């Protein structure tokens, strides 16, 4: 089947989490009952695959589409990741309660689950309550021995840095960075296509099944970057309309923020697909043969061979591609 390239819009895969809530309903999604913490917006993983809502591929999963159109649509760098699947995983997270204190491995950790990659990620804060905060890295001087002792003595929080957050803040979280989102934060997350998380602490609370969730102390101690993990934060409130502000550049993705105020003509390139996340406002995405509406919460995958496209309206977007 020969299909002309067009922006793919996806129906999220929703995940119930003990820390989730109902905030994703504000984007107009049909959110299932329960404490919904994650919307997997663009996903091609054994634990969740998102399906296209529009155009010739409507109803098909990202995994099937990738196999049909391959490099032409996904780019020389984006046809598949090291585990043979789509390279990135895009989420919206509703943190109605604190997430566990956690850390992610890198690609070379010898105890990675079969078929899994490491997990470098970034957060863009879409909304935050006035007193919202996150856990972001270790306090200076914390090494493995000190953290292991603090865990043993039930005082891991003494080792961690708390950071206040507001809408528009960005946090880059390389593998090895100890971190946790806290209550009252809504974020967009761009990450490697991985679902591997090691928990250090979960506030001694029961999971959705009423039992304590598993901790992974030894793995966490093994993969933590005790010196400089490379984590960086940014206040992006100064972004200029019609110019890309680079938020994160990793070996796995490059993400920019763009403020759209009227027509802004851009282009894809043969190396990589482009992912657009609409953070606020509304508008359109136009290309040679069509136009699609875009509003806050929408996530689009623009094929590498789409060519020229135009963003229009009044909206803030994140653009992610492979470096």
Nearest to 103 by CA among 182, 157, 174: 174
Average pLDDT score over residue span 67-96: 90
For the beta carbon of residue 64, count every other beta carbon within 10 angstroms: 15
pLDDT (0 to 100) of residue 39: 97
245-321: what CATH class? Answer: mainly beta
pLDDT digits (tens, 9 = 90+) for 207-255: 888 888 999 999 999 999 999 899 999 999 989 999 999 999 999 999 9
CB crowding 250-288: b at 16 or more within 10 Å, else e: bebbbbbbbbbbeebebebeeebbbbbbbbbbebbbbbe
- 3 state SS for 94-157: EECCCCCEEECCCCCCCCCCCCCCCCCEEEEEEEECCCCEEEEEECCCCCHHHHHHHHHCCCHH
pLDDT digits (tens, 9 = 90+) for 80-93: 677 789 999 999 99
pLDDT (0 to 100) of residue 280: 97
Instruction: Tell whether the model's pLDDT for residue 21 goes beyond 90.
Output: yes
CA angle 214, 253, 314 (to 5 degrees): 105
The CA-atom distances, in angstroms, between 310 and each of 132, 211, 247 are: 35, 50, 22
Rg for the chain, CA atoms, rounded:
19
- Residue identified by tokens 């953290």 is 147
Instruction: Tell whether the model's pLDDT for residue 1 goes beyond 90.
Output: no
Q: In what order do the strands lie in the sheet with 88-95?
A: 13-21, 36-42, 88-95, 185-192, 121-128, 169-173, 232-235
pLDDT digits (tens, 9 = 90+) for 3-20: 999 999 999 999 999 999
Residues labelled as active-site residues: 199
Look at the domain 8-235 and name its fold: Jelly Rolls (2.60.120)
CATH 2.60.120.10 placement within the chain: 8-235, 245-321
Measure the N-to-C terminal CA separation of the chain; round to a whole number of Å.
30
pLDDT (0 to 100) of residue 79: 78
pLDDT (0 to 100) of residue 207: 87
Report whether 119 contacts 175 (CB < 8 A).
yes
pLDDT tier at 2 (50, 70, 90 boundaries)? confident
pLDDT digits (tens, 9 = 90+) for 123-175: 999 999 999 999 999 999 999 999 999 999 999 999 999 999 999 999 999 99
Average pLDDT score over residue span 101-119: 95
């Amino acid at each position: 089947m020969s299909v002309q390239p067009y922006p793919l819009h996806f129906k999220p895969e929703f995940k119930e989490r003990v820390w989730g809530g109902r905030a994703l309903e504000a984007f107009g999604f049909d959110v299932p009952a329960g404490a919904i913490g994650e919307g997997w917006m663009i996903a091609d993983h054994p634990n969740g695959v998102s399906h296209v809502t529009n155009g010739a591929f409507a109803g098909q999963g990202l995994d099937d589409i990738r196999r049909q159109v391959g490099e032409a649509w996904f780019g020389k760098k984006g046809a598949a990741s090291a585990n043979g699947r789509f390279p990135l995983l895009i989420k919206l997270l509703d943190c109605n309660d604190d997430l566990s204190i956690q850390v992610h491995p890198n690609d070379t950790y010898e105890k990675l689950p079969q078929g899994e990659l490491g997990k470098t990620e970034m957060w863009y804060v879409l909304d935050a309550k006035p007193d919202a905060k996150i856990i972001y890295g270790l306090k200076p001087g914390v090494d493995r021995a000190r953290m292991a002792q603090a865990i043993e003595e039930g005082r891991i929080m003494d080792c961690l840095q708390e950071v206040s957050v507001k809408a528009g803040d960005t946090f880059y979280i390389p593998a090895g960075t100890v971190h946790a989102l806290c209550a009252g934060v809504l974020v967009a997350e761009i990450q490697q296509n991985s679902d591997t998380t090691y928990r250090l602490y979960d506030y001694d609370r029961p999971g959705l099944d009423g039992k304590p969730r598993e901790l992974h102390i030894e793995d966490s101690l093994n993969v933590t970057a005790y010196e400089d993990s490379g984590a960086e934060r940014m206040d992006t409130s100064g972004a200029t309309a019609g110019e890309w502000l680079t938020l994160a550049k990793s070996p796995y993705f490059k993400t920019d923020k763009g403020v759209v105020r009227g027509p802004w003509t851009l282009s894809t390139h043969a190396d990589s697909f482009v992912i657009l996340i609409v953070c606020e406002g509304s508008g359109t995405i136009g290309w040679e043969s069509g136009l699609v509406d875009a509003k806050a919460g929408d996530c689009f995958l623009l094929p590498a061979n789409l060519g020229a496209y135009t963003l229009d309206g009044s909206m803030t977007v994140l653009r992610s591609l492979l470096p």
